[in-house]
Amino acid sequence: MTIPPPDGSFPAPGHSRIRRLLDDLVRVQDAPHAHRVAVRAAIAVLLPLLALWSTGRLDLAAYATFGAFASVYGGGARTPHRWRTQTELAVILTLAVASGALVALSPQRSWWAIPVAAGWASFAAARSDRRRWRPPGPMFPVFAVATAAAIPSTPGQVLAATALTAATAALAIALGVVEVVLIKHTGIRPPDPPAAPLPSMPSRARQRIHLVRCGIVVLAAGTIATASGIGHPYWAIVASVTPLTVFTFRGQVVRGIHRVLGTMAGLLLAGALLLLALPAFAVVIIIAALQAATELLVVRHYGLALIFITPLALLSVQLAHPEPIHTLLADRFAETLIGVGVGVVAAVLTRNREIAG
C-alpha cells in the first residue's frame, strides 16, 4: 500500500521527471583517475604544439591535437590492456584526419565533408558500442574528419597531416605506457581503487539504431549549417553527436543542455582570452592548461568542462588560422545550437520507450 505524503498529495509524474532532470543537470560525479588523464592529455598536446611553434608551422596545429586525443581513451586506471584501446583510437583518428584532408583537396570540400563525416559517425558509433570505448561515442573521430576537411589542403599537406597525427598519437600512447611503468615500479602512487562499472551494453537492435541515427544527425546538422552559410559547419556536426554519446534518454537531454549552457559560459572566457592578443607561445601553454582542466572536469560535470573546451577549440583555430573574434564567437554559438538541436530531436525520435530515463 502506498502511503501519501503529509499533505495528502502525490507529485505529478511530469514534476518528478523534471526534478530528476534538474538533479542530473547539477550533479557532480566522482572521477578518481581524472588527474592522470589530465596530465597525459596536457603533455600530449603541449609537446607537439611547442615543436610546431619552434619550426613556425602552427598552421598544422589541428592535426597534432587530433593525434593527442588518443591519450584520453582507456580511462585513468592502469589496466594492462589500456594501450590497445589507445592504439586502436590512434589508428582511427589518423585515418579520420587523412580522409578529411583528402576531402579538403576539393573546392566543394564543405559539402563532401558531410557524407564522409556521417560515414565516420556511424562507423565509430558501432565500434564504440562493440569495443566499449571510454569515453564512448563517435565524437572525436567525427571532430577529426570534419575539421580536417574544413582546412584547405594540398597533396603534400595530406601527407603532413597524416604523419603528424600518427606521430602525436604515438606520443600519446607512449605517455600512457610510461605512466603505467612508473606507477608499477616506483610506488609513487597508491593502488588504483576499483574502476567504475561500465554501462550495460545496448541490445543489437539499439546498437543498429544508434549507428544509423549518428550518421543521420551528422547529415542533417552538416547540411543545415553549410546551407545557412555560417562559418565552421564542422562545429554543428560535432555538436549533433554530442547528446548521443550518453546511453539514456534523460542523459542525452542533459548532455545537450550542458553543451549549450557550457558553451555560452565558455564563450565569455574565450572572448577574454582572444582579446588579449597573446603571443603564440603563451597561447600554446594556455591550450595545454585548458586541455588539462577539461579532462579534470569532463567526467565530473560535462557542462563545467565546456567552459574550458570552448576556449580550447577557439584558441586552437585562432592559433592556426586567425579570424575576426566576433565572427568566431558568433559562429561557435550558432553552430552549437544547430547541432545540439538536431541531436536532441534525434534522441527524442529514437528514444527507447521500454526503459525509464
User: Within a 10 A sphere around the Cβ of 321, how many other Cβ atoms?
Assistant: 14
Angle of helix 204-228 versus helix 109-131 axis, rounded to 10: 160
pLDDT score, position 37: 86
Contacts of 209 (CB under 8 A, 6+ apart): 350
pLDDT score, position 178: 81
| d(C-alpha 5, C-alpha 1), whole Å | 13
Rounded CA Rg of the chain: 20
| d(C-alpha 150, C-alpha 321), whole Å | 12
The cell for 179 is 605512466
Instruction: For residue 265, give the nearest of 302, 233, 239, 300 by alpha carbon.
Output: 302
pLDDT score, position 180: 73
pLDDT score, position 284: 96
pLDDT score, position 198: 53
Amino acid at 201: M
Contacts of 79 (CB under 8 A, 6+ apart): 195
Which tens digit of pLDDT belongs to each residue from 283-328?
999 999 999 999 999 989 999 999 999 999 999 989 888 899 999 9
| d(C-alpha 261, C-alpha 53), whole Å | 33
| d(C-alpha 299, C-alpha 306), whole Å | 11
pLDDT score, position 199: 55
| d(C-alpha 179, C-alpha 193), whole Å | 16
pLDDT, block means (10 residues), the chain with 357 residues: 48 70 84 84 94 94 91 71 87 97 95 97 94 90 95 94 96 85 63 52 81 96 95 95 92 95 97 94 96 93 95 92 92 97 95 64
User: Within a 10 A sphere around the Cβ of 242, how many other Cβ atoms?
Assistant: 25
DSSP 14-60: HHHHHHHHHHHHH-----TTHHHHHHHHHHHHHHHHHHHHHHT-GGG
Contacts of 356 (CB under 8 A, 6+ apart): none
DSSP state of 203: P
Q: Are 292 and 244 in contact (CB under 8 A)?
A: no
pLDDT score, position 15: 66
